[in-house]
């Protein structure tokens, strides 16, 4: 169980949320939705200790800082330099760095892991490509492959489907479902409200704090969506659903 | 051509020229390696800042009669810390903080040096005087080269991942600040070594130009390190030759050669070279 207790994050004294507490269960794909600027990415970064925060986050009772190897994180549209001299295979291999620790370089075992992971996301033939020579969807699959290599118990993805093709989205969803069925805790920050019911087991709806959290069937309601987004948007969303 | 023969002849006869050549080659290699990481991290300006900021350290070391490396490293690291402090404790952006700190350090160093030593020395510190390399200079340059190679070899994957994807490195628990400041310390050591061959003003060129050239030719970090140090070494050899035969200052001579190699690469390199781009356009038209 990933537990977040009384988490507060502020950027230059303006809090994004205060005393936020929420638990994420294993064996579930949990979606996090909320309007732009609601603090979804900030919740992830606060949980991982990537921004200054108060409160704490634990995995099965242990502080995150001490179990980092058990968590994989796929950043939102990482602002990476895609001209960097690194190949697809080398990027995936960096997923082994955490467990390797300082001074050790990846050996045969690590390279096999990376090769397998690339196969799982159907990118084997691209392994020697420079990282900039990929489409958006292929690039995102590379980062999912890196998460595979990390062999983590918890995988957190921040808006992984933005700007990618349907085929890549489907392939990534299949990887996530496989992880879920293997009992991992999967957390996906998501923007496309139409897919909520199809993709997620649980939903965390937020807007500078938790609006509601629970199984999709119980929390994905017109009322909650109106509170998080707007009454208009919510009405459109649910009328469409009722009509379909 | 006779001048090449003369140069080789002189090399065989004069110890000082042999020392100069060895020092220049070693500096070319080390700055090519460290420079690759500097440009990949988008820290070219930081490289310039650190190299200028060691000047007061050099002056203080002269005055107190301590080792140049110690004085320079101290001030280089103070500058790096100060830049980080100003940038993270104000609204100012990193490049602004860099501009303020390094110009202040350089100004302080300039005044201290003029107080401590004659103006010829200042000129040599600013523009290099490779023909005056002593045996102990050669030894310390060799030690720095060894440190650079061991550092990059031992921490290759950490340097790679923090340069490529720092957030990911933090997420798996790597202390990225240690890598950053480690690199800054190594950078100041390289700066002090390069002081004698190219001088403070042009060190940044040795860090950036060979690395940028290698970047145009390669798609893998390891290859980039080799090509970059190769370009640095070749520029040093040819520059030293020009410096000796034409009686030019060694720093500008070496840096100009590096710039010419870059220019040629800029035109013909397969990746981002002008010709390659024209080629792409033609293919697209067809
Ligand atoms: N590094 C930052 N510095 C200052 N403000 C930030 C920073 N990152 C995010 N914010 C602000 O915090 C709020 C939450 O941002 P974020 O967590 O990225 O939202 P979301 O991911 O839900 O779109 C927004 O108002 C955003 O402008
Ligand atoms: Mg976000």
* b/e sequence A1-15, b meaning 16+ C-beta within 10 Å: ebbbeebebeeeeee
- A241 pLDDT band, cuts 50/70/90, is low
Task: For residue B30, report the distance from its CA to the centre of ligand 2, in Å.
Answer: 41
DSSP secondary structure letters along B57-78 = HHHHHHHHT--HHHHHHHHHHH
- pLDDT single digits (tens) A191-207: 888 889 999 999 999 99
Q: What whole-number distance in Å separates Cα of residue B52 and Cα of residue B76?
A: 8
Residue pairs spanning A and B at CB distance below 8 A: 73
A78 contacts B168? CB cut-off 8 A: yes
Residue A88 lies in a domain: yes
A150 contacts B172? CB cut-off 8 A: yes
A78 contacts B42? CB cut-off 8 A: no
Q: Please give the pLDDT value at position B206.
A: 92
B219 contacts A87? CB cut-off 8 A: yes
Structural domain for A77, as ranges: 2-237
Residue A244 lies in a domain: no
Phi/psi for A206 (5° steps) reads: -135, 155
pLDDT, averaged across chain A: 92
Only one residue has tokens 């110690």, namely B70
- pLDDT single digits (tens) A29-58: 999 999 999 999 999 999 999 999 999 999
Does the Cβ of A38 fall within 6 Å of ligand 1? yes
Question: Percent of chain A beyond pLDDT 70?
Answer: 98
Q: Please give the pLDDT value at position B1.
A: 58
Which residues, at least 6 apart from A231, have a Cβ–Cβ distance to it below 8 Å?
none
The CATH number of the domain holding residue A167 is 3.40.50.300
Q: Please give the pLDDT value at position A155.
A: 97
Q: Please give the pLDDT value at position B70.
A: 85
What is the pLDDT averaged over residues A166-171? 94
Is pLDDT larger for residue B89 or for residue A131?
Answer: A131
Which tokens go with B229? Answer: 């140090």
Q: What whole-number distance in Å separates Cα of residue B110 and Cα of residue B104?
A: 10
User: What is the CATH code of the structural domain delimited by B4-285?
Assistant: 1.10.3470.10
Q: Other CB atoms closer than 10 Å to residue B261's CB: what's the count?
A: 19
Task: For residue A18, report the distance from its CA to the centre of ligand 1, in Å.
Answer: 14
By residue count, chain A amounts to 244
Total number of domains constituting chain A: 1
pTM: 0.91
- pLDDT single digits (tens) A68-124: 999 999 998 767 899 999 999 999 999 999 999 888 999 999 999 999 999 999 999
Q: Please give the pLDDT value at position B38.
A: 95
Asked if residues A73 and A156 have their Cβ atoms less than 8 Å apart, the reply is yes
A65 pLDDT exceeds 50?
yes
The low-confidence residues of chain B, meaning pLDDT below 70, are 1-2, 117-120, 271-286
Please choose, from the candidates B109, B97, B91, the residue with its C-alpha nearest in 3D space to the C-alpha of residue B45: B97
Q: What whole-number distance in Å separates Cα of residue B205 and Cα of residue B127?
A: 12
Q: What whole-number distance in Å separates Cα of residue B41 and Cα of residue A75?
A: 19
Pocket test for ligand 1, best of A7, A10, A16 (most atoms within 8 A of CB): A16
Q: What whole-number distance in Å separates Cα of residue A198 and Cα of residue A230?
A: 22
Which residues, at least 6 apart from A130, have a Cβ–Cβ distance to it below 8 Å?
A85, A86, A87, A88, B219
Mutate to test the interface with A, among B154, B155, B172 (most CBs of A within 10 A): B172
Q: What whole-number distance in Å separates Cα of residue A218 and Cα of residue A212?
A: 10
Chain A positions in Cβ-Cβ contact with residue B168 (cut-off 8 Å):
73, 75, 78, 94, 146
Q: Out of B171, B215, B219, name the one closest to residue A73 (CB).
A: B171
Sheet containing A54-59: which strands, arranged edge to edge?
Answer: A14-24, A2-11, A54-59, A62-63
Sheet containing A202-206: which strands, arranged edge to edge?
Answer: A71-74, A154-158, A185-189, A28-33, A202-206, A210-215
Residue A242 lies in a domain: no
Q: Please give the pLDDT value at position B256.
A: 96
B171 contacts A68? CB cut-off 8 A: yes
Asked if residues B206 and B128 have their Cβ atoms less than 8 Å apart, the reply is no
* b/e sequence A204-235, b meaning 16+ C-beta within 10 Å: bbbbbebbbbeebeebbeeebbbebbeeeebe
Q: What whole-number distance in Å separates Cα of residue A65 and Cα of residue A67?
A: 6
Residue A12 lies in a domain: yes
Q: Residue A10 carries which DSSP code? A: E
Which tokens go with B224? Answer: 């980039």
- Listed by start position, the domains of chain B span 4-285
For residue A120, the distance in angstroms to the closest alpha carbon of chain B comes to 21
A243 pLDDT exceeds 50?
no
A190: exposed, middle or buried (Cβ count in 10 Å: 0-12, 13-18, 19+): buried
Q: What whole-number distance in Å separates Cα of residue B29 and Cα of residue B68?
A: 21
Q: Out of B156, B164, B172, name the one closest to residue A86 (CB).
A: B164
Q: Please give the pLDDT value at position A124.
A: 96
DSSP secondary structure letters along B266-277 = HHH-TTT-HHHH
Asked if residues B23 and B137 have their Cβ atoms less than 8 Å apart, the reply is yes
Residue A179 lies in a domain: yes
Asked if residues B17 and B133 have their Cβ atoms less than 8 Å apart, the reply is no
Does the Cβ of A77 fall within 6 Å of ligand 1? no
Q: Please give the pLDDT value at position A142.
A: 96
């Amino acid at each position: 169980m990933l537990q977040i207790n009384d988490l507060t994050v502020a950027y230059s004294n303006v809090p994004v949320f205060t005393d936020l507490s929420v638990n994420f269960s294993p064996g579930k794909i949990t979606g996090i939705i909320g309007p732009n600027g609601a603090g979804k990415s900030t919740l992830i970064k606060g949980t991982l200790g990537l921004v200054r925060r108060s409160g704490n986050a634990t995995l099965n009772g242990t502080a995150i800082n001490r179990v980092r190897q058990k968590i994989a994180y796929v950043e939102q549209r990482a602002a990476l330099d895609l001209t960097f001299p690194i190949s697809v295979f080398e990027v995936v291999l960096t997923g082994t760095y955490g467990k390797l620790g300082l001074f050790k370089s990846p050996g045969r075992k690590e390279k096999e892991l990376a090769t397998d992971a690339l196969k799982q996301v159907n990118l084997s033939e691209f392994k020697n490509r420079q990282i900039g020579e990929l489409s958006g969807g292929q690039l995102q699959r590379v980062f999912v492959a890196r998460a595979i290599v990390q062999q983590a118990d918890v995988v957190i993805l921040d808006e992984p489907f933005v700007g990618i093709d349907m085929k890549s989205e489907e392939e990534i969803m299949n990887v996530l479902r496989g992880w879920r069925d293997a009992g991992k805790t999967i957390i996906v920050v998501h923007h496309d409200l139409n897919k909520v019911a199809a993709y997620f087991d649980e939903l965390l709806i937020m807007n500078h704090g938790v609006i509601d959290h629970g199984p999709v069937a119980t929390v994905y309601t017109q009322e909650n969506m109106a509170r998080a987004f707007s009454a208009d948007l919510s009405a459109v969303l649910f009328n469409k659903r009722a009509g379909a | 051509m006779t001048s090449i023969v003369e140069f080789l002849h002189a090399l065989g006869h004069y110890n000082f020229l042999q020392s100069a050549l060895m020092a220049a080659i070693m500096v070319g290699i080390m700055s090519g390696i460290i420079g690759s990481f500097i440009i990949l991290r988008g820290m070219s300006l930081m490289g310039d800042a650190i190299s200028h900021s060691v000047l007061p350290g050099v002056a203080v070391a002269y005055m107190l009669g301590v080792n140049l490396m110690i004085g320079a490293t101290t001030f280089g690291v103070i500058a790096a810390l100060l830049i980080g402090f100003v940038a993270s404790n104000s609204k100012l952006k990193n490049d602004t903080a860099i501009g303020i700190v390094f110009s202040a350090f350089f100004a302080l160093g300039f005044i201290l040096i003029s107080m401590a030593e004659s103006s010829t020395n200042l000129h040599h510190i600013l523009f290099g005087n490779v023909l005056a390399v002593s045996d102990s200079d050669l030894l310390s340059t060799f030690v720095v080269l060894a440190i650079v190679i061991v550092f990059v070899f031992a921490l290759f994957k950490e340097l790679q991942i923090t340069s490529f994807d720092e957030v990911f490195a933090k997420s798996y628990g790597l202390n990225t600040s240690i890598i950053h400041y480690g690199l800054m310390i190594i950078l100041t050591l390289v700066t002090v070594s390069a002081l004698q061959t190219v001088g403070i003003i042009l060190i940044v060129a040795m860090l950036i130009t060979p690395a940028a050239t290698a970047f145009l030719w390669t798609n893998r970090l390891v290859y980039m390190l080799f090509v970059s140090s190769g370009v640095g070494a070749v520029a040093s050899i040819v520059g030293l030759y020009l410096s000796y035969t034409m009686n030019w200052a060694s720093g500008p001579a070496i840096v100009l050669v590096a710039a010419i190699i870059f220019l040629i690469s800029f035109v013909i390199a397969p990746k981002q070279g002008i010709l390659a781009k024209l080629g792409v356009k033609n293919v697209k038209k067809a």
